[in-house]
Amino acid sequence: MTLLSYTPEIAEARTRGLPIVALESTIITHGMPWPKNKEMAQQVEADIRAAGAIPATIAVMDSQIHIGLSAAQLDRLAQTPDALKLSRADLAVALATGRTGATTVAATMICAARAGIEVFATGGIGGVHRGAEHSFDISADLQELAQTRVTVVAAGAKAILDLPKTLEVLETLGVPVIAYSQDALPAFWSRDSGLKAPLRMDQPAQIAASHRMRAQLGLPGGQLVANPIPAVDELPASMLAPLIETALREAEAQGISAKGVTPFLLRRIFELTQGASLAANIALVRNNARLAAEIARALA
């Protein structure tokens, strides 16, 4: 049995050199409730096709890394909320033990790179959690961006995080943080974090060119393209701020830690916004998928 299993469509796209966009699966199992999670995954795949690229949703099932999921596999995964949340540390263990695992940004980057896929769309990357000076909770996504050559399109890092510290760590790690078509770093559900992004680019073709340039320079690591949520879909940061504070206090009081923190906060903010955060989350992932498809087309 081969380690990587491609759907026939993706196998053909690889041989023909067609543009492919990788998609992660933790957002499906741990980021959104059933059945919206499955609808989102299907919709995002359709968006990528409409933009002229081939979607490749990545997950671990039956001791294989699946590059592209069948409708039945996607359906099964979306109803497996206890799937492992896989990052660099546990990817091999899930494969060795046959457990079903959803890939985070970090694990999806590893799998995409092995499959020769250079562009990946997600919602928001993990980063430095608030209070990290005490908890040391820093997402493995940041290290992965520093070492694996995949361009990741996200709406920045999630607003539940400490964004200034996240930017500092990315700078230390040598990861280019490129805001798309604006100067400000986006803040996931909102367009503007109040922080200036280190870099700005306005053309997908130039983002593709800088991806290539890093390889020519022999630099490891990818790029983070921070794509703001469309204005019509954004939630005001001022409305979210107190709700994020409430959710963070609850997480602390309930002793939520490690991999549990982000899913807990996303779920609580979904409840506190009466579902508005989920609608925004879906809109921003779709927006990221469309931009990722344009970058993949420029690279193909």
**Based on the number of CB atoms within 10 Å of its own CB, is 4 exposed (0-12), middle (13-18) or buried (19 or more)?**
middle
Contact set for ligand PSU, span 120-139 (CB under 6 A): 122-124, 126, 139
Binding segment (CB under 6 A) for ligand PSU, from list 22-30, 219-227, 232-240, 247-255 = 22-30
Minimum separation from the CB atom of position 140 to ligand PSU (A): 6
Tokens coding 184: 């400000």
The residues, any chain, with a CB within 8 Å of residue 93's CB and separated by 6 or more, are 99
Name the residue number minimizing CB distance to ligand PSU.
123
Give yes or no for residue 30 binding ligand PSU (CB under 6 A).
Answer: yes
165 labelled as ligand-binding?
no
Q: Which of 27/175 has CB closer to ligand PSU?
A: 27
**Based on the number of CB atoms within 10 Å of its own CB, is 71 exposed (0-12), middle (13-18) or buried (19 or more)?**
exposed
Give yes or no for residue 287 binding ligand PSU (CB under 6 A).
Answer: no
Residue given tokens 């690889």 in the structure block: 14
Q: Which of 18/272 has CB closer to ligand PSU?
A: 272
- Angle (CA) 150-113-230 rounded to 5° is 35
DSSP 8-state secondary structure symbol assigned to residue 185 = P
Minimum separation from the CB atom of position 28 to ligand PSU (A): 9
Decide: 116 and 300 in contact? Cβ < 8 Å. no
DSSP 8-state secondary structure symbol assigned to residue 231 = G
Binding site membership: which residues?
85, 105, 137, 139-141
Binding residues for ligand PSU (CB under 6 A)? 24, 26-27, 30-31, 104-105, 122-124, 126, 139, 141, 259, 262, 266, 281, 285
Binding site membership for substrate: which residues?
85, 105, 139-141
